Amino acid sequence: MKKFVVLFLFSVVALRVPAALAQSWVPVAANTPSVNSKVSTTPAPAGQTLNIVVGLRLQNVSSLGSFLQGLRNGSSTPMTHAAFVADYSPTASQVQPVVDYLASKGFTNIQVTEDNLLVSAQGTVGQAEQAFNTPIVSFTLSGKAAYAPAAPVMVPSALGNIVLQVLGLSNATQISNQLSMQQNLNVMGRNSTFVMNPSAGGADLSIAGLTPGALRTAYDAGTTSTGGNTVVAVVSAGSDLHQVIADLRQFELENHLPLIPVQVRQVAPVPTTQDTSGDGEWDLDSQSITGLAYSVKTLIFYNTASLNDSDLVLANDAFATDNIAKVGNMSYGECEDVQDSTLKDNLGTVGANVFDEIFAEAIAQGQTWSASSGDAGAACGVVTNLATPDSGVPSSVEYPASSPNVVAVGGTSLFVNSNYNYVMELAWDAGGGGTSNLEPAPIWQFNDLAVPTAATTGLRAVPDISMAAGPEGGAGAGVGTYAAVVVNGADAGVLGTSWSSPLNVGAWARLESARCNTLGFEAPIIYSLDTTQQPGSTAAGFHDVLLGSNGQYSAGPGWDFTTGYGSFDIAFVDAALNSAGYTAPAGCVPPNQVPAPAAALAATNNVGVAPLTVAFNGSGSSDPAGRALTNYGLDYGDGSVAVQGTPNLPSHTYVATGTHTASLQVTNSGGAISAPATQAITVLGTPPGCAAGGDQLIQATPGEFNGTEGQDIGNGTDVIQWGSVGEPASLPGELVFTMKVNNLTTVQPGFRWAFYFNIAARPAPGNGYYYVAMVSSDGPSPVFNYGYKTVNAAGFGQYQVLGSLNAASNFTPDGTITLVLDKSAFALATGDVLTHLEAVTRTSAPDDLTGTTSAGEGLTQESAGAVVPYTLVGNSTCASNAAPVAQLTASATQGTAPFAVTLNGSSSTAATGASVAYYQFNFGDGTSSAWQTLPTVQHTYSAPGTYTASLQVADNRGLVSGSSSTLAITAKAPPVKAAISTPKPGSTLGGSSQTFTWNTGTGVSGYALWLGTTQGGHDIYNSSSTTSATSLTVTRIPTRGRTVYVRLLSYINGAWQYNDYTYKEASH
């Protein structure tokens, strides 16, 4: 978990003394300081900017307490947010004086939260000193500049009954990332059943990373409801969460989870210089919640600027004022009592009043906050050693876990067997637990005799429950399980109560969804499942953890200070809740009982040359019961996704060649999720193995790390820029891995530059990873070898060297490392798929490590993973870049429009060992066919003209013909018969002699003229032969006034066609 230690109070020299004011002053209730004479301070710069938050007092607190008690005993039901504001929030007449006072002291950007509990403002140190009658001093804390008040924070007495707390006057907050990461860990539940350390009872125990599927098995989610009807939340800070959401999507794809809706509620501006150090924390939170819940209605990040109290309180308040999420996670804490490990003087206490008010607001509305209990055992984490309990530090619990208005979640070491079934848990040796020195025991804990000291001291006891946190012995040692998550695009193993709390959120989301979100605040419900509430009694459905210690307290029967009531057996807790009366209300249908909708995915342009843009649509999706479809999650099949609430899905451009399976799942308003609907998208072009230098699959930003140990201790030799994989023709039978680091001007000793990978359906021995590496730990000159890596029982990485890499392996001073592997070493063949590709730089131990020494594999310096697997295509296919050759023929090349032509590409050829698989015809008239598998197509040319038709083909490897085959297609204009222009048809002839004139027509090669007394007759005149003339004079025409029938014949394409006319003879 993230820890921050707040140090408030110091002895000062040469302080600015606020000017005397007429009004009297009263101290605020929280953050009363005491003096530490050993801390050297100076006045803080008067012009330094401060962002403060003034917390106001709730109204009718006694009534609120009674209401909250009524929620527990069933006499009350959760209220709306509007009702809470009306009954308990400060009134506008109480808020306005605070706003006016801050404005009068020069503060700007004054804002009031919707529930009237917080007033935020921006000012300077000088303005704050005047406003709160206290000097603010600068000092050095852990080598960094810090500032804090040097005397009690005060407000005018007129505001004393309104203002409860002022936050933001100190930045003395030390954030310690307690996430310990192990890259390339043995991931259980994904593709293997390898376990280690059989127990005495014959069950297998393991040290491994647990996927969400394995965790759902271990904690017995079974056939219980998913979390699909419940909105969950995570408090996050420091960055824009772009990478965190990308990691969540990768995690969902890797673990075959639904793509859930995600919202970011930005409660304070993202810093101009983002702090991404917490992204691994928010990765763990979001992935652990959704993984155990399987699905949720929505995941909301309440994202703030930093882990300072003045920023965090805005996130907690937004959770309550929105009143959308039913359960939220806080994986951070600060010490209630802080002792400096060197000075041994009391530095002050944390006043948590404003947070407690906001947490109570959430409870009143039926919401739950879950908080990590800490990663320093019974001692607050002033000094931490990678999850090892501190020595010599007095007992102390952490806030907000110690708040009576949240669920405090401790840690266990979880053990599973080869089927991932639950075996046992130990109290995690670094899990936070103990008795608060400040917070009162809530009534549901005070009356529970199973909780030691709660009734006798009246103080809050921590934790309430526990979930998996990590192996016994901390990072890199011991036995137990890790969280298998994705951090910065790579698989990582993570431990800490930062894992425990979001697991609780995921479990509770399932139970809330099963009851249509009617459970409300979690903690008192859990305590009610202990119906005896006597020493040693247990809560129904929970695993009672009996062994283990956190440094001061030991686990034992029933509730204890290490694990509370223990961990969820979700199915048993679900049943216990039903037995206790916590049943689903009438008409409530859990997501797992709602009929699933049906997804339908349409795609245009399924086959084409890279870059290929494909349009998608899910409008054909439906629900059998007519429920609304609320979410469309589209996996494009290349590591990219789209998640939205409407069916008009975004188009996507595919760059990587090969066949990608796009997959759509839809969710209905009942939380049920459809089976996937798929479309195969074939992207043609040069296969990855034929690209010069290999296809770049892996990318890392120089100077950024995804492991807590990552520091540039190798002068740039450990900073990865990029990596690639390829099968160049120049090295037949070889697979080439290329890595680029900043430089290798000097090869640092004690390092390993490696590529890890798995082979699909063929895991490495011991469920490890195959590797190729350049190693400088075995001597002054680097060596190049290959083998596989496993993790031993002590948690150390073991490198089993199988042989040396090809002599072509090398490095250059610019930082390029080329690792050439004989494919025969791992029996690799064309078509094999490499997965979980990862380029890593590590400090290293000798390769012949036996596991009997205390040395380990070393620390990860930087790693970068590839989402897209690599499919071997063979070196020979690239020998001459032998593209297929298109050959186009046609059933005819000339004809009269409309001219129907069959175009044929079946004569096209491919290189030896390949075959022509795809055809695309361009008809030359502005239209073309889509890529198709049939070699023929028919097309009709409607307009006259000469067109150039062309054909491109692609082979079964995806290679496209270098040039098109073309044909000229001529569509002639259709023939038109000649027509008489004079005399005008139907008119009276001029006499016994008449000249007939006609136009040429179209496609006419000769003419003939007939005159007769009957239609079609020629008894008056018959031109004796075909003429090319367009006029003839006919003589000896009778002049009796009768009808004359005239036929003009046109000779077209070897046949006569005619037009008939009638005229009137002249009469005398």
| Structure-block tokens of residue 652 | 């996507």
How long is the chain? 1068
Reply yes or no on whether 847 is catalytic: no
Helices 81-88 and 61-73 pack at an angle, to 10 degrees, of 140
Single out the residue of 135, 134, 218, 167 nearest to residue 56, CA to CA. 167
Annotated catalytic residue 491: no
Q: Which residues contact residue 637 at a Cβ distance below 8 angstroms, ignoring those fewer than 6 apart?
A: 660, 661, 662, 663, 681
DSSP string, 435-496: EEEEEEPPHHHHT-TTSTTHHHH-EEEE-SEEEE---TTSTTSSSEEEEEEEETTEEEEEES
Helix segments in 294-428, DSSP class H: 309-322, 353-364
- Are 3 and 333 contacting, i.e. CB atoms less than 8 angstroms apart? yes
Q: How does 222-258 read in b/e, with b if 16+ C-beta sit within 10 Å? A: eebbbbbbbbbbbbbbbbebebbbbbbbbbbbbbebb
**Residue keyed to tokens 């939340």:** 233
> Which residue, 119, 161, 125, is CA-closest to 29?
161
Annotate 176-187 with three-state secondary structure. EECCEEEECCCE
Are the C-beta atoms of residues 1013 and 1019 closer than 8 Å to each other?
A: yes
Put the strands of the sheet holding 173-177 in their side by side order.
Answer: 173-177, 2-6, 332-335, 398-399
DSSP letter for each residue of 545-610: P-EEBSSS-B--SSSBTTTBT-EE-HHHHHHHHHHTT-PPPTT---GGGSPPPB---EEE--EEES
Pair 261, 295: CB distance under 8 Å: no
Q: How far is CA 612 from CA 650, 654, 664, 752, in A?
A: 14, 5, 19, 39
CA atoms within 13 A on the CB side of 260: 32
Give the active site residue among 498, 528, 950, 965: 498
CB distance 873 to 690 below 8 Å: yes
- Determine the Cα–Cα distance for residues 262 and 243; give it in Å rounded to an integer: 13
3-state SS, residue 500: helix
User: What's the token pair of residue 629?
Assistant: 């479809």
Identify whether 498 is a catalytic site residue: yes
DSSP string for residues in 944-1005? -EEEEEEEEEEETT--B-SS-EEEEEEEEPPPB---EEESPTTSB--SS-EEEEE---BSEE
954-991 as b/e: b if 16+ CB within 10 A: bbebbbbbeebbebebbbbeeeebbebeebeeeeebee
Quote the CA–CA distance of 294 and 298 in Å, as a whole number: 12
Phi-psi region of 435 (alpha: psi -120 to 50; beta: other; left: phi over 0): beta
- The whole-angstrom separation of Cα 425 and Cα 301 is 31
Tokens of 322: 């929105």
Instruction: Name the strand (E) or helix (H) holding 734.
Output: strand 734-741
* Active-site residue (options: 204, 285, 857, 862): 285
Strands (E), 778-893: 783-791, 797-804, 810-811, 816-822, 833-843, 860-865, 870-871, 889-890
Buried/exposed code over 191-220 (b: 16+ C-beta within 10 A; e: otherwise): bbebbbeeeeeebbbbbbbbbbbbbbbbbb
Annotated active-site residue in 129, 204, 254, 281: 281
> In sequence order, what are the beta bridge partners of 1008?
1049
Of 325, 313, 324, the closest CA to residue 268 belongs to: 313
Q: Which residues pair with 144 in a beta bridge?
A: 141
Q: List the end-to-end C-alpha distance of the chain, in Å, as a whole number.
A: 122
Active site residues: 281, 285, 498
